[in-house]
Copies of this chain bind each other. A is one copy, B any other.
Amino acid sequence: MVTLKQLAKELNVSISTVSKALNNSEEIGEDTVKRVKELAELYNYKPNKVALSLKNNKTKTIGVIIPNILNRFLAKVLFGIEREATKHGYNIITCISNESLEKEKESLQLLANGSVDGFILSVAEESQVNNEVEHFKRTIKQGLPIVMFDRVAHDVMCDKVIVDDFDATYNATKSLIEEGRKHIVFVSNINDISVGKLRERGYNKAILENGSIEPAVLKIKKKDDHQKKIKTFFKKNKSVDAIIAADSSSGVIALNTALSFGLKVPKDISVIGFASKSDSNHTLPKLTTIRQHAKVIGAQAAELLIKRIQNTGVEEDVKTKIVKTSLVKNNSTL
């Protein structure tokens, strides 16, 4: 790649003359402008984007920081962000924090130095546990807006897009109560993160409101054998007639385990899972699911950030958008 310096040398003018000529500056004579442009074209000169971004401070690029790329929900949000950003002519650059506070800080620093105009992120587990938010505040102060989604830091003043996790399990549990189910079990392998806790609370509220049903929660840890844990639970609790799962795997496994015990789904037992369309295709009968609309969440986050970037300097209140889940009934419930 040819540089400004090489062009200047060949034309026997200063670098600044070449730069001004390429930018059609009035300080430079028409003749020189023509000579510079012709040589630049001949050598297929392209201005260095990084150098440009240092100068005019707009990159038309959004930085996204994702805690865990193996989480299907987060991957889908990323997909939604990408699609919406592209529509508005923005590129996206993604870093993975791997649930680590240190990595999250590093990613912010890496991209905050001129590579992006702002950030969309979901907070790493470690940052949530330690309630660490200074790095976010510093980035915003530096003039780079942040939009948080799903796992948000309430102490940071910025735009947010969240899911109605509490209402989602509250409503789903109520629908199981309305079916006449008497022994409704909540199964979860995401007890450690904020959304997992919200989902459990939603379930608990619906159960307590009813009054005549005992709450029953099966918590699965990362090191557990997921299938075995659910099998053992079924063996010990023959009267279970409904399962509501906080994550996608637990719903699928619970349904298949019920079938393997000779139970009829949904005659003997109903199953609802927090899961995607493709998960519900992985069971027979198809799993009734609480859908999170991950792509919509991504699109809304991108829209909020782009607006914020384009209105830099304009004081505006921060917004929190709630993307409601839907209960998509399939044949695993009555």
Q: Write the residues of chain A forming the contact surface with B, with a CB cutoff of 8 angstroms.
A: 1, 48-51, 53-54, 61, 69-70, 72, 75-76, 78-79, 82-83, 86, 91-96, 98, 103, 106-107, 109-111, 113-115, 142, 226-227, 249, 252-253, 256-257, 259-260, 278, 281-284, 286
Q: Least Cβ distance of A206 to chain B in Å?
A: 27
Q: Are B227 and A50 in contact (CB under 8 A)?
A: no
| Shortest 4 CB-CB contacts between residues of A and residues of B | A50-B114, A49-B113, A94-B94, A256-B284
Q: Least Cβ distance of A274 to chain B in Å?
A: 15
For residue A51, which residues in chain B have a CB less than 8 angstroms away from its CB? 54, 114
For residue A72, which residues in chain B have a CB less than 8 angstroms away from its CB? 70, 72
Please report the C-alpha to C-alpha distance between residue A79 and residue B114 in the assembled complex, in whole angstroms: 25
One of B54, B83, B107, B142 near A50 (C-beta < 8 A): B54
Q: Are A284 and B227 in contact (CB under 8 A)?
A: yes
Q: Are B91 and A93 in contact (CB under 8 A)?
A: no
Q: A69-B79, A70-B75, A226-B281 are in contact. Are A54 and B49 (CB under 8 A)?
A: no
For residue A227, which residues in chain B have a CB less than 8 angstroms away from its CB? 281, 284, 286
One of B75, B91, B142, B283 near A107 (C-beta < 8 A): B91
Closest to A228 in B: B281
For residue A1, which residues in chain B have a CB less than 8 angstroms away from its CB? 142
Please report the C-alpha to C-alpha distance between residue A249 and residue B50 in the assembled complex, in whole angstroms: 42
Please report the C-alpha to C-alpha distance between residue A106 and residue B85 in the assembled complex, in whole angstroms: 14
